[in-house]
A and B are shown apart, each in its own frame.
Chain A
Amino acid sequence: MALINFLKPKNQLEEGGRTAAPVQQDEGEPEKNCPNCHKDIPLSRLWANDLVCSCGYHFRMKARQRIKMIADRDSFNEMFREIRSGNPLGFPGYADKLETVAAASGEEEAVICGTADVGGQSCCLFVMESYFMMGSMGSAVGERITRLFEYATEHRLPVIGFTVSGGARMQEGLLSLMQMAKTSAAVKRHSDAGLLYIAVLTDPTTGGVTASFAMEADIILAEPGATVGFAGARVIEQTTRKTLPKEFQKAEFVLKHGFVDGIVARAGQKKLLCDLLKMHSRSVML
């Protein structure tokens, strides 16, 4: 019940002033069941509405689709694609896993980085990919993010980042853990240069990514219903032997406790990001 209430856009900003185009539904078209309102939604309608159900439930979105939604048409210029995961520790099963996941997701890493225009304003953009090992951070993800912040610092560009991650990638052991320190140091240099970093936390953002660059932005936004936390809910239940409330670690819970600036539905994200970029552009500062 509470979930439905906060998922509905509360104001025009969240709504983004945009209405879904009427979509012709073919007979026998595949449908997807919404886990929130339990209605079947035709796929075409879901796609036309950025994978958001009419009840407000946000389905997971692939990174490239998100880039399309946020970046101005044809403005995204991908960088650091050559940086890919190896199997540095010879971890059992990891090499095969990387291959399977790459084939299934069509991606080569769990983050896509590049430059883009958002509402005509240049920025660096990174979008994590839940379909690639649940956006986990190993050496390659850490290196790509670090290089992006270094590039942004050098070229005096703001960074917008969409996070989704299960945390540090176990299969690269300590090397993954160290990426938290490496990326954080790069974020700090960007910040010390007086540059803007906006993070949008999407479902789920947890573990080592929450404990590093996801929580280090100047402005932190979250998608409705996104799980945002450090420890996994199952681990907490096992440690504390307590049943967790339903809203635990949801974006609304994190907002209530003061760790994000706002919850923004997909339909309102681009406009809000444009406005924020504009308010921080040097041309408006006197």
Chain B
Amino acid sequence: MNGAPYERVKLARDSARPTGLDYIRKIFKGFIEMHGDRRYADDPAIVGGIAWLGERPVTVIAIEKGHMAKDRAYRNFGAPHPEGYRKALRLMKQAEKFGRPVICFVDTSGAYCGIGAEERGQGQAIAENLVEMSTLCVPIISVLIGEGGSGGALALAVADSVWMLENSVYSVISPEGCASILWKDSTKAETAAASLKLTAEDAKSLGVIERILSENDIGKKEFYDRIRNMLDDEIKELSLETDLLSKRYGRFRRIGITADSKEQL
């Protein structure tokens, strides 16, 4: 922890880190995967379904990067297409219908940049998730476990409570992309990473996330047990909330600092 921001970016991208499916398998019991967006296809970059969190059925959605080369390619390196976001929204709406909380695990360099993705409305798919999640009538918790790449990550993170692993990052653009656009020099990624304020501590001080999760025992049984307990506690608390949607609105409504804001960093 507390390495230079660009080192944290590299850690967040490390293919040895646990991926979405690791969290699903080790935190929940009896996961049943549900496929497809019912409109075009099933996107292997997003895995979703129903599982038990202790005694409670929950809808779990995770962006999956894969570990080995073949699997990573199959998962499109965790870069979802519009159908992935639409599958996620379908499962969230289903969760709402049956009163199940939604838990998302986010790990993506960004929504996929490709011809098919544009043809099928990548921007529209993300926008629809932002709109619909803002009023989904069940508790939503999102955990950033690796890369939180821009709109592609936010499309699963309009939640009541957003957590980040201590070495995950959350950013509006990759440091390389930022350096190449602003300074026409992708080797200035280190400077960009520092300027973008993309670490978990930065996100917390900007009011963008609620909690930072320690990685001391990452991948061990205690690590997953701890997250399971935290999710359980948080869901219990959110389920008692009578004003869930106003609070969710307020949570995002507050974010932003302008020249006339009283608070400056």
Contacts and interface: CB of A to CB of B under 8 A. Distances in A.
A binds B: yes
B212 interface: no
A88 interface: yes
A257 B253 contact: no
Interface stretch (B53-61, B126-134, B215-223): B126-134
A177 B257 contact: no
B260 A177 contact: no
Nearest to A176: B172
Interface stretch (A39-47, A59-67, A71-79, A166-174): A166-174
B258 A178 contact: no
Contacts of B195: 89-92, 173
Interface centre among A88, A229, A236, A253 (most CB of B within 10 A): A88
A175 B154 CA distance: 12
Contacts, number: 200
A184 B134 contact: yes
B178 interface: yes
Interface bracket on A? 35 or more
Contact of A259 (B121, B178, B208): B121
A31 B198 CA distance: 47
Contacts of A188: 131-132, 134-135
A284 B27 CA distance: 55
A259 B124 contact: yes
A170 B126 contact: no
Contact of B151 (A140, A208, A213, A258): A208
B155 to A, nearest CB: 8
Contacts of B114: 231, 236, 239-240
Contacts of B131: 184-185, 187-188, 191, 216
B117 interface: yes
A90 B150 CA distance: 20
Q: Which 7 residue pairs spanning A and B have beta carbons closest together?
A: A210-B123, A139-B256, A231-B113, A184-B130, A88-B257, A230-B123, A185-B134
Interface of B: 111-115, 117-124, 126-128, 130-132, 134-135, 150-151, 154-155, 158, 170-173, 177-178, 181-182, 191, 195-198, 202-203, 206, 208, 248-249, 252-253, 255-261, 264-265
